[in-house]
Amino acid sequence: MRTALLLAMLATAMLTVARAGTPSIAPGHLTRNGCLRSRGPASTAAEPSGVGVGIVLDEHLLTDGSRDQDYNGGGEVTLSGGRAGPLGRALDHVLGILDGAACRGARAPGGSWGVTHAFAAGLLVFTPRDLNAHGIVPGDRPYASLFFLSAGRRYTSPDADIVYDSSFTVGALGLAAAGAVQRALHHLTGSVQPQGWSQQISAGGEPTVRYELSRQGLLTRYGRGPWRGDGKWTAAASVGTVTEASVALATRFGRIESPWWAFTPEQDMYVQETQPAPPPLPDHSPAELFAFAGVRLKLRAYNAFLQGQFRHSNLRYGEGDLNQVLGEAWAGLEYRSASGWTLQYLARWESPELRSGVGSRSILWGSVEIAKSFR
């Protein structure tokens, strides 16, 4: 009953996220008269392009060295623009179909939207606290991993204080290669070698998919001169590997040159964020440098990294073992130059996912991202 109620609430959230009246804007490389549906790659020529590399590690390396409780982490490479190759175009085509279906389901009116694209590939890993244990560790989180490919889109209109972001992710849970990658990294850093990867969720491999749609809205702009800030809200819903609905508040302050919607730390699945590059800064403009912070409330119905999927897992948890309501907070700094280089550091905290046992502890992540955009 509780799962059915949560899924009904998530479906409502997905439709709410998609619902919005949007005005038409000047002609250009735009999607038209089809909700959020794109008509092929014609809009990609004027898109900002770029490449970014993000590395996300748990607290023992990038945040609080005294909180050495997990060895979780991940990383991804993101390409922005419309030239992601056949695989990227195939994922983007599916994403466009899903976006159109979500928009029509919400009975949102059509309009004119500029669309930009992104494509990412990466890896997520999760481990229990005790890496020396060869067997399962009841009460702690299981080993879990995801190799993924993801397509992302952003829909913008200069005449509306609303922006849509979406992503479609395909991947594989339970591959032995994840353990090999973590062991290699731990060998390089001198960390404890994990012994229990044979016990991971969906050991042997299992496909998984996830679709997410979010809606950003501008709340306020403040400050004068070169130093100023903005605040926004974001509502999001996702179905698949992690099924949840969320609402977030975020702000930033500093020397800001980019649009308010171009910075999205609230849109993640633990560490994954498939977002197009922001518009390039004008020539000879000053560099961006700002601090940011935010909070998010999540209502989660399903988490494959703890509950497994269809394949057998030696350790998995039921919905009664998990907290459905989760809190999250983050803060960090970002620098971005007119030449297109971006450097970001972010620390993120999340409330416990397990209700009891040694695994009922908060997660503290740190991430470093380096990106280069091109005109």
Which pLDDT score, from 0 to 100, does residue 317 have? 95
| CA–CA distance, 2 with 87 (Å, rounded to integer) | 38
Q: What is the pLDDT of residue 37?
A: 46
Q: Worst-scoring range by mean pLDDT, 14-23, 210-219, 236-245, 270-279?
A: 14-23
Examine residue 159 and state whether it is found in any structural domain, yes or no. yes
Alpha helix stretches (DSSP H) within 288-355: 304-307
33, part of any domain: no
CA distances from 114 to 38, 158, 307 (A): 9, 9, 38
Any domain includes 38 = no
State the average pLDDT over residues 55-60.
Answer: 58
Q: Which of 167, 371, 217, 214 is nearest to 280 (CA)?
A: 371
Specify if 220 maps to a domain: yes
Kind plus residue range of the DSSP H or E element containing 12: helix 2-18
How far is it, in rounded angstroms, from Cα 182 to Cα 218? 40
Question: Which pLDDT score, from 0 to 100, does residue 314 have?
Answer: 94
276 domain-assigned? yes
What CATH code is carried by the domain that includes residue 219?
A: 2.40.128.140
Whose tokens are 């130093």? That residue is: 227
Enumerate the β-bridge partners of residue 199.
none
**What pLDDT band is residue 239 in, cutting at 50, 70 and 90?**
very high
Q: How far apart are CA 212 and CA 358, in angstroms?
A: 31
What confidence score (pLDDT) does residue 244 get?
A: 96
- Enclosing domain of residue 277: 2-19+48-374
Q: Is the pLDDT of residue 109 over 50?
A: no
CA-only gyration radius of the chain, Å? 20
What angle do helix axes 85-105 and 2-18 make, rounded to 10 degrees? 100
Determine, yes or no, domain membership for 39. Answer: no
What mean pLDDT is predicted for residues 324-348?
92
Within-domain flag for 281: yes
Percentage of the chain beyond pLDDT 70 is: 79
CB atoms within 10 A of CB 101: 15
Q: What is the mean pLDDT of residues 96-109?
A: 73
Q: Are strands 325-336 and 341-350 parallel, antiparallel or unpaired?
A: antiparallel
Strand 288-303 with 242-255, pairing:
antiparallel
The pLDDT value recorded for residue 35 is 53
At 20, give phi and psi (nearest 5°): -170, 135
Whether 223 contacts 255, CB under 8 Å? no
Number of domains making up the chain = 1
| 106-110, 143-147, 159-163, 221-225: least confident range | 106-110
CA distances from 113 to 81, 166, 264 (A): 16, 14, 19
Q: Is 190 exposed, middle or buried (0-12, 13-18, 19+ CB in 10 A)?
A: exposed
The stretch 115-122 carries a mean pLDDT of 91
Per-residue pLDDT tens for 261-305? 988 989 888 766 788 888 888 878 889 999 999 999 999 999 999
Q: Which helix (H) or strand (E) holds 81?
A: none
Residue 186 lies in a domain: yes
Q: Name the token pair of 296.
A: 């998010």
